[in-house]
Amino acid sequence: MKYPLFAAVLALSTAFPSVADVLNIKKDAPKQYVVKKGDTLWDISAIYLNKPWLWPELWQMNPQIDNPHLIYPGDALSLIYDEHGNPRLVINSGYKKLSPHGRITPKGRNAIPTLPLELLRPYLTYEQALSRKEIAEKPYILGANVNTKMNTEGHIVYVKGELKLHEAYAIYRKGKAYIDPETNKALAYKSQLVGIGRVFREGDLSQGVPSSVKVTEAKQEIRATDFLMPAMQGQTLPAYFKMQRPDEPITGNIIAATSRLREFSTMDIVVLNLGLEQNIKAGHILDIERQSPTVFDGRNGPRYEEDSNSLEKFMKKSDEFFGVEPDKNSTVWHMPKEKVGELMVFKVHEKVSYALIVKNQHPIRIGDFAVIN
């Protein structure tokens, strides 16, 4: 089975960070580092910085290098300080012989990416998060040229809706809802790419004639009610975006994850209940925080709420039975949130967004907060 290939370019601008972001080098940062196959700019920056998204400030390349994004496996990097005392990471020209007119890249060598694109590509090309209204407005499949509930490559499907002749369309299936923990309402529905088709005959809605689409590629069996979108719509990132903190305070939650595990870590992908409505942008860096457990402090000493619910009920019934006055001095302590990691938003929809966990001190869970204070 053939799979559609949609190129996603992930490049970041070299705009200067905000004044609040200070470039501090880790105490254990090495003076030299040799780039290995599989490294990313983020990985290397994280060796030197506590805030890897400030990498454009750290990477100041040799004048022989035309493109500052082109760092290759085998390059030796040196940590230096400029005349103003600012740390800089540069190519060590003493380690690798460079041409005075520019570096010659051997055939077959690929520059290292900013982030691991292979992790992000499936969620750029194969997945959307659309509202019920958005899905209802899309053209959808009525049936096919064969009497079967499931269609595949080579079949012809008939579509209700306005389609352009000879255009390619992506075929999606509505999946589970992303639920907001605050309102308990569906923010969007996970929509999975199931195939690609091309329009070869236009329909006429006024006459009850559907458009005819030939399935050219299929990832799964295609069914009636699957809906269509232009093939590249929502499937690429902007050519350039910069990693940065949002300008204003914001609080949201991790509401889902692409992993079926209960806990997640660095390089796992999660879904947030934050989107365009909250001015979230691709490249935004947010802290991940977790609410510390509530503590009851009373007659029997302090204990966690989650551990004391059944005990509290028992003690209350016991006090009532023996006629003991309730503990009026009992205090409920609401503990603060604590930072447990960081994430970077890479794809934004109206009400939700997809993010990559880039750092974690503890396992990340659904329900953790995504914040900027």
Residue 187 lies in a domain: yes
Residue 242 lies in a domain: no
pLDDT for the residue 105: 44
Q: How far is CA 344 from the centre of its chain?
A: 6
Domain that holds residue 198: 117-230
Could you give the CA distance from residue 194 to residue 189 in angstroms, rounded to a whole number?
Answer: 15
Q: How many CB atoms lie within 10 A of CB 59?
A: 20
Burial string for 94-116 (b: 16+ CB within 10 Å, else e) reads: eeeebeeeebeeeeeeeebbbbb
Residue 10 lies in a domain: no
In terms of domains, do 178 and 286 share one? no
In terms of domains, do 219 and 127 share one? yes
In terms of domains, do 215 and 280 share one? no
Is residue 272 over pLDDT 60? yes
In terms of domains, do 257 and 359 share one? yes
Could you give the CA distance from residue 170 to residue 123 in angstroms, rounded to a whole number?
Answer: 14
Mean pLDDT of 247-260: 92
Q: How many CB atoms lie within 10 A of CB 82?
A: 10
Mean pLDDT of the chain: 79
Digit-coded pLDDT (tens) for 118-127: 667 667 667 8
Per the confidence metrics, is the pTM higher than 0.75? no
In terms of domains, do 86 and 142 share one? no
Digit-coded pLDDT (tens) for 129-179: 999 999 999 999 999 998 877 878 899 999 999 999 999 999 999 999 999
Indicate which CATH number applies to the domain containing 260. Answer: 2.40.10.410
pLDDT for the residue 184: 96
H-helix or E-strand spanning residue 46: helix 41-48
Residue 2 lies in a domain: no
Residue 109 lies in a domain: no
Digit-coded pLDDT (tens) for 209-226: 999 999 999 989 999 999
Residue 286 lies in a domain: yes
CB distance 353 to 347 below 8 Å: yes
230, 264, 293 - which closes a domain: 230
Residue 184 lies in a domain: yes
**Of 8-12, 32-36, 158-162, 245-249, where does the model show the most confidence?**
158-162
pLDDT for the residue 357: 93
Digit-coded pLDDT (tens) for 72-82: 888 888 888 88
Indicate which CATH number applies to the domain containing 27. Answer: 3.10.450
How does DSSP assign 131-183, residue by residue?
-HHHHHTS-EEEEESSS-S-B-TT-EEEEES---TT-EEEEEEEEEEEE-TTT
